[in-house]
Structure 1
Amino acid sequence: MTTITPAQPPDDKLPDNFDPFEHLQKIYIPQHNALVKRYFADLGDDWKPNIASSRSALRVACTMVDNDNQLMMNLRHHLLFDLLGYGKKDLGIFYGIPAESFQESVDGRPQVFLYFSQDSASVSEGEKKVEAEYSFRLMNETPATMTPVKAIALAKDIKQQFISGGQGVVFTKGKNIYKYYHEEHGYRLQVYGNTEVDTQDIITRLLKCQDILYDENRLVVSTPKKASITNQTATQLVYGKQKKKPRYRPVANVRFRYAYMYLRGNERPIYLVDATGRHHEALV
């Protein structure tokens, strides 16, 4: 087997006291910290390290300094890119088919998505967060007529409906299915809720994003006989190992996190509102 040795720069191109790790730090740290600055842009450009708030404490933890060793650099990188999700921020939403093909399968009207998830503190050990995502279409717009000005106005309406006291509003997800169709206005909602009152509140907020009134005659409720399973204890044999059975429509509070819009012809989602601090490019 032939061994290929990477080409090394001539010795006379490097100083006698050249330290590869120190050189890497000088190149890497400014690049990494530039991403940290962008991610925490909401805290301002001029800042001194402080841990007075959770956001500023995270920024201090992510920021690399000259005397960091390799372990510290790795930990700071892992915190920013993996735990806080910066490395995933530009990934497209996966539909099972390419996004462009998905958009071609519908009429091309802009589609707005609102994402909800359970607070980490309320997730039982060994379970995944309960999530929810609902969407509607802007039937009076097309990719050609949609503009940044209109998007900002929509973002402000979503913020008004789904942000309260600086946090996303909460609703209780459950086993019952509440369908609300108003296709002329772009709504085909299917909400898993716990009570009709709670679910009606969320549906009404979604409608108000386009200044549309709630019509109780359009609501169809499906209540399964099977009981909801929130805390699963039963197991099943999977590939030679005992694993927990899937939960059945668990009851859990989910909080609004962010909203984004897809336009046909636009490769990346347009983030409208963000209550997580992860999407610095969000319009609101």
Structure 2
Amino acid sequence: MTELPSNFDSWEHLQNTYMLEYNKRVDKFFNDVEGNGDLSSIRGSLKLACRLVDGDNQATWNLRTSLFFDVIGYSRKNLSIFYGSNLDTALPVSGHPQLFLYFSQDSQAVPVNGKRLDHEKSCRLTRYACKTGQALPAITKANLIELAREIKAQFVESKKGIVYTSGKIAVSYTDPPNGFPRGGRWLVNSRSEAITLYEKLCNVIDRPFDINKINVITPEKDSTSQTSTQTDTILGKQYKEPAYRPVANLRFRYAYVSFGGSASPIFLIDTTFRHTALIT
């Protein structure tokens, strides 16, 4: 074992090693940002705020690492599958990648002690295969970038995801050859809004939209508010009843492609900046 020099400072060595390894992870996470970051873009500003530099005091050090690990969420990356269950992402039609779009309420719109509403919509990319050697051409990174740009054009305005109003009306669209095999529903407050959303999704995957393949179900029961005070009593204990298809604004947050099996999904665009996406 090599002897340490007499003037070796273990604390200084620990700080330098931590700073080196930490900044490597920051640089990899922000690999789309040149240099150490700047104020010209959101991600450039975030990278600048996250990187440790010589001369940081303890408070600054703590704020930078907390911003990166806790607020941006790097420490939680891939620890849980919050982007859908295995049942959702396993492709029943073998070989076709699956595109997911995720929407949720703005945090300030969620009632106190209420549950944040969200919705995830998916379709198949029937133009492509997941792997080479199949009948269809395998999807490439260039294909994914093109897909991401079209999602941005259709679902992002002024750097924010578009908003639609959810409600009690269930609108489904069934067109198996073009990527909609199960007719998954979109809960909306109006039929016309659902048609617009399906048209946008068809534009994203470059497939024709057919109004005759739309199916609309309008239940007699009215939507209930997220702030409803109605309760159920179970074994003598009261529980708040869940809201029935409440009317609420849901905003587009991110989109990713799943290949099924054990392959990790690839995020195409993410307005929350919690995932490393192909485009910003």
The AA in structure 2 aligned to 1:125 is V
Q: Which residue of 2 aligns with 1:171?
A: 164
In the TM superposition, residue 64 of structure 1 has moved relative to its aligned partner by 2.8
* Equivalent position to 2:104, from 86, 99, 117: 117
Deviation by residue 1:126-184 (Cα, 9 ceiling, x = unmatched): 22322111111122321222222322222222222112222222111122211111112
* Equivalent position to 2:255, from 255, 259, 263: 259
Is the contact between residue 167 and residue 223 of structure 2 (CA under 8 Å) also seen in structure 1?
no
Deviation larger for 134-143 or 36-45 = 36-45
Cα distance in 2, alignment partners of residues 83 and 112 from structure 1: 27
The AA in structure 2 aligned to 1:278 is R
Q: Which residue of 1 aligns with 2:216?
A: 221
Cα distance in 2, alignment partners of residues 268 and 133 from structure 1: 18
1:57/1:209 CA distance change after superposition, 3 Å:
closer
1:76/1:128 CA distance change after superposition, 3 Å:
farther
Is the contact between residue 36 and residue 48 of structure 2 (CA under 8 Å) also seen in structure 1?
no
Q: Which residue of 1 aligns with 2:191?
A: 196
Q: Which residue of 2 aligns with 1:156?
A: 149
Deviation larger for 80-89 or 66-75 = 66-75
Q: Which residue of 2 aligns with 1:26?
A: 16
Q: Which residue of 1 aligns with 2:95?
A: 108
The AA in structure 1 aligned to 2:157 is S
Question: Would you say how many aligned residue pairs link Structure 1 and Structure 2?
Answer: 269
Is the contact between residue 42 and residue 280 of structure 1 (CA under 8 Å) also seen in structure 2?
no
Cα distance in 1, alignment partners of residues 11 and 95 from structure 2: 51
In the TM superposition, residue 17 of structure 1 has moved relative to its aligned partner by 5.1
Deviation larger for 69-78 or 152-161 = 69-78
In the TM superposition, residue 283 of structure 1 has moved relative to its aligned partner by 4.6
* Equivalent position to 2:266, from 255, 262, 270: 270
Is the contact between residue 231 and residue 240 of structure 2 (CA under 8 Å) also seen in structure 1?
yes
Cα distance in 1, alignment partners of residues 257 and 272 from structure 2: 17
3-state SS of the aligned residue for 1:36?
helix
Is the contact between residue 174 and residue 228 of structure 1 (CA under 8 Å) also seen in structure 2?
no
Q: Which residue of 1 aligns with 2:242?
A: 246
Identity %: 38
1:36/1:239 CA distance change after superposition, 3 Å:
farther
Q: TM-score, normalised by structure 1?
A: 0.78
Matches within 5 A, 1:39-58: 39-47=29-37, 55=43, 58=46
In the TM superposition, residue 185 of structure 1 has moved relative to its aligned partner by 1.0
Cα distance in 2, alignment partners of residues 252 and 83 from structure 1: 26
Q: TM-score, normalised by structure 2?
A: 0.79
Deviation larger for 130-139 or 17-26 = 17-26
Is the contact between residue 36 and residue 59 of structure 1 (CA under 8 Å) also seen in structure 2?
yes
Is the contact between residue 114 and residue 226 of structure 2 (CA under 8 Å) also seen in structure 1?
no
In the TM superposition, residue 190 of structure 1 has moved relative to its aligned partner by 0.8
Matches within 5 A, 1:49-88: 55=43, 58-68=46-56, 73-88=61-76
* Equivalent position to 1:140, from 127, 130, 137: 127
Cα distance in 2, alignment partners of residues 44 and 234 from structure 1: 54
In the TM superposition, residue 219 of structure 1 has moved relative to its aligned partner by 1.8
In the TM superposition, residue 242 of structure 1 has moved relative to its aligned partner by 6.0
Cα distance in 2, alignment partners of residues 148 and 260 from structure 1: 13
Cα distance in 1, alignment partners of residues 108 and 99 from structure 2: 28
3-state SS of the aligned residue for 2:186?
strand
Give me the CA root mean square deviation: 3.2
In the TM superposition, residue 69 of structure 1 has moved relative to its aligned partner by 5.7
User: Where in structure 2 are there 5+ consecutive unaligned residues?
Assistant: 133-137
Is the contact between residue 145 and residue 279 of structure 2 (CA under 8 Å) also seen in structure 1?
yes
In the TM superposition, residue 117 of structure 1 has moved relative to its aligned partner by 1.7
Cα distance in 2, alignment partners of residues 87 and 208 from structure 1: 35
